[in-house]
């Protein structure tokens, strides 16, 4: 039941992101747009592989915005660019109902999301309608699309 509520909340969040703008904006993101559940994460420095399917880590892409959630982190938002086989993310903010948006400076909090730096860049290993695989010097991440 708890997982179902989180899925519904994230779906509503993605829908809200699409309705915020007054202008109709189309996206050239192709299969990337939508909600992705992290399935596996491998820390390439320690070779530790984490099965993330039960941790409810999700990334959502729409337009130029990315939103990340997990059981431990309420909401992280940022901007992204998808170019060729590269995904770049920047301007990461943590949202809290108590304090509003706060620029992320402590990256240790974000490691459960697969983020190891303030402006991570990933090589896109695979992107299809159902699978997303990303890699950089620190981490390799696999997702499935909701």
Q: What is the pLDDT of residue 20?
A: 54
What pLDDT, in 10s, does the model give residues 1-34? 566 666 666 666 666 655 555 555 567 899 999 9
Judged on CB neighbours under 10 Å (0-12, 13-18, 19+), 136 is: middle
Q: What is the pLDDT of residue 136?
A: 97
- The Cα-based distances of 35 to 48, 60, 79, 95, 136 in angstroms read 25, 4, 15, 18, 21
What pLDDT, in 10s, does the model give residues 64-120? 999 999 888 878 999 999 998 999 999 999 887 777 788 888 888 889 899 999 999
Q: What is the pTM for the complete model shown?
A: 0.79
Q: State phi, psi for 119 to the nearest 5 degrees.
A: -130, 75
- The whole-angstrom separation of Cα 94 and Cα 50 is 23
pLDDT band, residue 43 (cuts 50/70/90)? very high
């Amino acid at each position: 039941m708890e997982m179902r509520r989180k899925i519904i909340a994230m779906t509503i969040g993605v829908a809200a992101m699409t309705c915020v703008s007054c202008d109709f904006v189309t996206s050239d993101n192709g299969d990337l747009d939508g909600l992705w559940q992290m399935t596996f994460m491998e820390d390439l420095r320690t070779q530790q592989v984490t099965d993330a399917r039960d941790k409810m880590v999700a990334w959502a892409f729409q337009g130029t915005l990315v939103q990340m959630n997990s059981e431990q982190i309420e909401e992280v938002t940022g901007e992204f660019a998808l170019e060729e086989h590269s995904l770049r993310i920047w301007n990461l903010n943590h949202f809290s109902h108590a304090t509003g948006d706060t620029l992320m400076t402590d990256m240790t909090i974000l490691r459960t999301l697969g983020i190891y730096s303030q402006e991570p860049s990933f090589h896109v290993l695979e992107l299809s309608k159902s699978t997303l695989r990303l890699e950089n010097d620190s981490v390799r991440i696999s997702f499935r699309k909701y």
